[in-house]
Amino acid sequence: MTTQRHFSPADRLLMQADSALRTLLPLSAHPNRPSPAQSREDAELSRDETTHIAGLMRINHTGEVCAQALYQGQALTASLPKVREAMEHAAVEEIDHLLWCEKRIRELGSRPSILNPLFYGLSFGVGAVAGLISDKVSLGFVAETENQVCKHLDEHLQQLPAADQKSRAILEQMREDEQRHATSAMEAGGMRFPTPVKLGMTLLSKVMTKSTYRI
């Protein structure tokens, strides 16, 4: 018979600190799946194309930093163990996206955004507050966040040069995973947010994308 270990609040805080370091420090974590890009051929890209792709991948990398923080904040304050476990599992899957994006950014001769610690802190706080309000709100926030991420990914896929199959493979797999997370969150009882809340989230996401494209 298996038993489930119960962690104290202090244990969970230490685990969150470890997760934050693994998210923010370069190459400090390991992917659970190989990057979809590794099976694709390198392409000859112009300087302008390389710069633009690096900016898009930097946005997506910061988005994954935010996702990690959001899930970890929600896992810290979630009421039901099954919801907490679902958040922690989703965070593990998102680590793959984080590392795939970081590797691609460096292949393009660039670096992740220096604003990542700021966005991590903000997202962690939002996640923790959502978890404190209720698991239903927390799950609804995940679903809407993932839906908006999918829209960003669709836009980025349209902007990628046809020759860049490496970045395309990464974003296509990310979109598939994110859509699954959104669907799972709603099926688990997530609240469907009203339009004003969705618009507010869209506005905040635009601040993130505009600032991290170059910085």
DSSP 3-state of 59: helix
pLDDT at position 29 is 64
Highest mean pLDDT range out of 1-15, 77-91, 118-132?
118-132
Domain of residue 140: give its range: 46-212
Higher pLDDT, 3 or 24: 24
CA distances from 90 to 1, 44, 71, 165 (A): 26, 35, 7, 26
Number of Cβ atoms within 10 Å of the Cβ of 6: 7
The residues near 183 (Cβ < 8 Å, ≥ 6 apart) are 143
Average pLDDT over residues 6-13: 57
Supply the CATH number for residue 115's domain.
1.20.1260.10
- Mean per-residue pLDDT of the chain: 80
pLDDT at position 4 is 43
79 DSSP 8-state letter: S
pLDDT in tens, 108-121: 999 999 888 888 88
* Binding region: 64, 94, 97, 146, 178, 181
**Is the pLDDT at 9 greater than 70, yes or no?**
no
CA–CA gap between residue 7 and residue 13 (Å, rounded): 10
The answer to whether position 85 is within a domain reads yes
The answer to whether position 38 is within a domain reads no
Instruction: Write down the pTM of the prediction.
Output: 0.80
pLDDT at position 165 is 92
The answer to whether position 83 is within a domain reads yes
The answer to whether position 33 is within a domain reads no
pLDDT in tens, 125-182: 888 887 778 778 878 888 888 888 888 899 999 999 989 999 999 999 999 988 888 8
The answer to whether position 16 is within a domain reads no
**Is the pLDDT at 64 greater than 60, yes or no?**
yes
Return the residue matching tokens 């046809």.
162
Q: How many domains does the chain have?
A: 1
* Binding region for Fe cation: 64, 94, 97, 146, 178, 181
Higher pLDDT, 15 or 64: 64
**Is the pLDDT at 3 greater than 50, yes or no?**
no
